[in-house]
Structure 1
């Protein structure tokens, strides 16, 4: 029987001389990656709940190279696709002396740029980026950061709904229109990443990923009350187990360097399984859910003088209900803060903190979230705590502003880095985010004292393909206006919230179309760009919507 490539190849973690290629196959086999006709790496597939995967680690590559590669399953070449009009996929290694470009975005619903898909969700910026890369191959170091909602497990569309109806037995208890078990997640990822243009992009651009809520479920870990409500649902344990397990297989394993993956005890246990490793992955995922300190999803990548910190702001959350200032409620959890403190230091020319949810929201929303957290904790008495919790969940008040302990901790650390108190001050500290379905830039300075030489900037690019309905755009725009900003500040003060250590405002109006952000870093200089596709369609190339020096 001939083995086929079910998904991939995905080019994941790369270094100056190493690269990782991830694939999913439809049967067990030996996978071989051949680079530039001679350098090879092989791996046997491992199985999880009947699905087969391989992680190939390629070594001995020249720094700063972009070399074509092929994928073989046993002796059959399965990539590149001989019918594709796109250029050959290449393995890109990093060059510590070259400039670096970071592409980033979140919130992607696969539509294939069909007419109805463009009408409902806007043009697909991953597809548009693939077309741009095919026409104008990039130079220097390049990373694609997919920062949340790579899949929508709780808002599936046709034909995924049809697949769920056809595959589930009559009388099942799983919620209609949501994926629950591992096989359903596998199909969801297949549909998200098998579009020919998206597939080629992921095969030729090194990609790092981190989850947000929809990768598991909307508003995941918003609060302790949300968590208790979910624990009462009979299908939730299976859902969160398979959601985290699938994320580990499809997204997280490829984030790790070969050295980090070799030290991962769960990766070693999976490799040691003689049969299907589904039970092992389930055990790991449930433990990560029950005890967030048992596993670290955050990860760091250095590209020459650029440090990228991909932070877990979902699974690691501590959801205490006491005083917001005591650390029992935290967006990173105690281990997450320790990890960020360890790596958020001076030394590099540019430090990039990737948080799926924005650190610096429009100030009015930030103050509203801070007020809500305080009221939920009892600042205005017991009688209003329950209504405040309902408001928190209804309005999705669950970003950094709603975790004041974490916000104050990060703001203080950023200022220490900018002032050179944690090593030589970088040129920039950049906060890259998505989630909110509009794009903007906000420059930050200390609330008190002189601004340091380091430029601190929040950059948000969202969505890749899932634009807001018009009525929600109006609401989001109102949140950026000065009357709402003043009202939010008054509300937070009435709830006795301490003023933030940073002061910021949005530069210009937010943009509500689909975008993919780009940061270009060369020496101590930096420039931000946002690309969009104003005309849409399956062949449109992206234009620069706006750009700014940082």
Structure 2
């Protein structure tokens, strides 16, 4: 067996199962991928689980490890091969005596208990340019993941998950140099970006959750959509479904190995005890018409509202790849400030239903910060936002600064008062990532530079 050409990537992991993505390669005969696992400390491996790889899926697959135990360390091996007999199936290759690749990977299932301290890594916007099938300075974008790996080793409490909140790849190369449009070029970029050594090591052991933003398609999509972009869009979403959505909760409807590659929707939920996440798709379901302008489609907005109102979670974190607030002085029509009616509906629902501990988490702006939203006539209302971006900026793009944002003016006006926000941190204007420590009392946000050094620490109280 050979090592995966991309992966393994540990995706959605619960107390009892884990979704693991991997890619093989083309061969003359049928190609299969396999995984076997065991509890750490055991000597006997499980029987291998195998799946046939298909060219229309770019030789990728997700294998689900089931029957796991909560809060338990596991180790696993993964690989791919082409058997000598072309008549083999996924059921019969398990009977072969296979030499597994020597590398052993590790994962840890979460506990399901409430009031348990947990840690998360949040980041977005990792730029990697490829010209003529050659990545330019790939180590620059991979360097920060070495620092994240170092933090993972010593984090207390341990890191429960990594949240990548958009622009994991830049297909458009800033709309300047040969943007990727063909399926071949887009898939090559994903393979390259996800197989660099430090990010590969991180994703092989820490559950990683992803959501797309515009550069997974093209800058400011769909506002900049051109008439000839339909094929680009189809190729981009096919690749996103394979490499980002498939190993997350949104990909669970793909396990029947049907020819369709896209899940029914890209937004999803996951939970660790009484800490719950709602990861929105704020990019592909937009409606830009004046009659019903919305950043989330009606189905998704309704699901988000029902979750906010009905969930008993102690902490509710909402991921939106573009900023919920603060608003930027240069409004390019891309973030939530350009969809004020829908944003007001959400915050009015949070306030009128007295929902506590709602945190909006985002990226996109190439600057990191925390901010608090309050209501002029309701002292019991507060909503916080955490923005973490970028993991690796392009030399051609500026960083956001404090002067980039509108400060001191009402964000929105309701019938019985107005909403205002204030920064609760400095604005980080360099490559960085965020660590979130969620305890019973607070969410401590630490922004780290690309070498792992702390830049800013903010404590968001929980009520």
TM-score where L is the length of structure 1: 0.71
Where does residue 38 of structure 2 map in the other structure? 35
In the superposition, relative to structure 1, how do residues 499 and 546 fare at CA in structure 2: closer, same or farther (>3 Å)? Answer: farther
Counterpart contact for 1:109–1:192, Cα < 8 Å: no
Matches within 5 A, 1:250-329: 250-256=243-249, 261=252, 264=253, 268=256, 271-272=257-258, 277=259, 280-281=260-261, 295-322=264-291, 328-329=292-293
Q: Give the secondary structure class of the aligned counterpart of 1:329.
A: coil
Q: Give the secondary structure class of the aligned counterpart of 1:150.
A: coil
Q: Which runs of 5+ in 1 are unaligned?
A: 81-87, 158-174, 286-294, 323-327, 370-395, 421-425, 534-540
Matches within 5 A, 1:299-448: 299-322=268-291, 328-345=292-309, 346-362=311-327, 365=329, 369=331, 396-417=332-353, 419-420=354-355, 426=356, 428-448=357-377
RMSD of aligned C-alpha atoms? Answer: 3.1
In the superposition, relative to structure 1, how do residues 523 and 100 fare at CA in structure 2: closer, same or farther (>3 Å)? Answer: same
In the superposition, relative to structure 1, how do residues 308 and 335 fare at CA in structure 2: closer, same or farther (>3 Å)? Answer: same
Q: What does the per-residue CA deviation read over 1:341-396, in whole Å, with 9 as the maximum and x for residues that have no partner?
A: 1222341110000011110124x53xx64xxxxxxxxxxxxxxxxxxxxxxxxxx3
Where does residue 466 of structure 1 map in the other structure? 393
- Which structure is richer in relative contact order (CA contacts within 8 A, separation 6 or more)? 1
Q: 1:501: how far off? A: 4.9
Q: 1:141: how far off? A: 5.5
In the superposition, relative to structure 1, how do residues 476 and 499 fare at CA in structure 2: closer, same or farther (>3 Å)? Answer: farther
| Structure-1 separation of matches of 2:319 and 2:443 | 16
In the superposition, relative to structure 1, how do residues 529 and 151 fare at CA in structure 2: closer, same or farther (>3 Å)? Answer: same
Where does residue 391 of structure 1 map in the other structure? none
Specify which of 498, 504, 515 is matched with residue 421 of structure 2: 504
In the superposition, relative to structure 1, how do residues 500 and 213 fare at CA in structure 2: closer, same or farther (>3 Å)? Answer: farther
Counterpart contact for 2:373–2:383, Cα < 8 Å: yes
| Structure-2 separation of matches of 1:58 and 1:127 | 27
Determine whether 1:9 maps to 2:8: yes
Specify which of 62, 69, 77 is matched with residue 55 of structure 1: 62
Q: Give the secondary structure class of the aligned counterpart of 1:318.
A: coil
Q: 1:70: how far off? A: 1.3
Counterpart contact for 1:155–1:177, Cα < 8 Å: yes
Matches within 5 A, 1:25-174: 25-27=24-26, 28-36=31-39, 37-40=44-47, 42-49=49-56, 51-74=58-81, 75-78=98-101, 80=103, 89-97=105-113, 98-110=116-128, 117=137, 124-134=143-153, 136=154, 139-140=157-158, 142-155=160-173
| Structure-2 separation of matches of 1:241 and 1:140 | 38
Q: What does the per-residue CA deviation read over 1:112-140, in whole Å, with 9 as the maximum and x for residues that have no partner?
A: xxxx9599x68842232123334x26544
Where does residue 238 of structure 1 map in the other structure? 231
| Structure-2 separation of matches of 1:527 and 1:477 | 21
Q: 1:481: how far off? A: 6.6
Q: Give the secondary structure class of the aligned counterpart of 1:204.
A: coil
| Structure-1 separation of matches of 2:170 and 2:241 | 16
Q: Give the secondary structure class of the aligned counterpart of 1:314.
A: coil
As a proportion of its length, which structure holds more helix? 1
| Structure-2 separation of matches of 1:347 and 1:468 | 44
| Structure-2 separation of matches of 1:48 and 1:41 | 22
| Structure-1 separation of matches of 2:406 and 2:305 | 34
Q: What does the per-residue CA deviation read over 1:201-250, in whole Å, with 9 as the maximum and x for residues that have no partner?
A: 0101001100000011111123xxx34xx12x2xx222110100111111
Where does residue 479 of structure 1 map in the other structure? 404
TM-score where L is the length of structure 2: 0.84
Counterpart contact for 2:370–2:385, Cα < 8 Å: yes
Q: What does the per-residue CA deviation read over 1:298-350, in whole Å, with 9 as the maximum and x for residues that have no partner?
A: 1000110100000000001112123xxxxx11000111111211222341110
Q: Which runs of 5+ in 2 are unaligned?
A: 82-97, 130-135
| Structure-2 separation of matches of 1:79 and 1:184 | 31
Count the aligned residue pairs.
Answer: 428
Where does residue 454 of structure 2 map in the other structure? 544
Specify which of 518, 526, 529 is matched with residue 435 of structure 2: 518
Q: 1:480: how far off? A: 3.5
In the superposition, relative to structure 1, how do residues 63 and 140 fare at CA in structure 2: closer, same or farther (>3 Å)? Answer: farther
Q: What does the per-residue CA deviation read over 1:430-470, in whole Å, with 9 as the maximum and x for residues that have no partner?
A: 11100000011101112322224xx5211101001116768
Q: Give the secondary structure class of the aligned counterpart of 1:254.
A: coil
Q: What does the per-residue CA deviation read over 1:376-423, in whole Å, with 9 as the maximum and x for residues that have no partner?
A: xxxxxxxxxxxxxxxxxxxx3310010012111221222245x14xxx
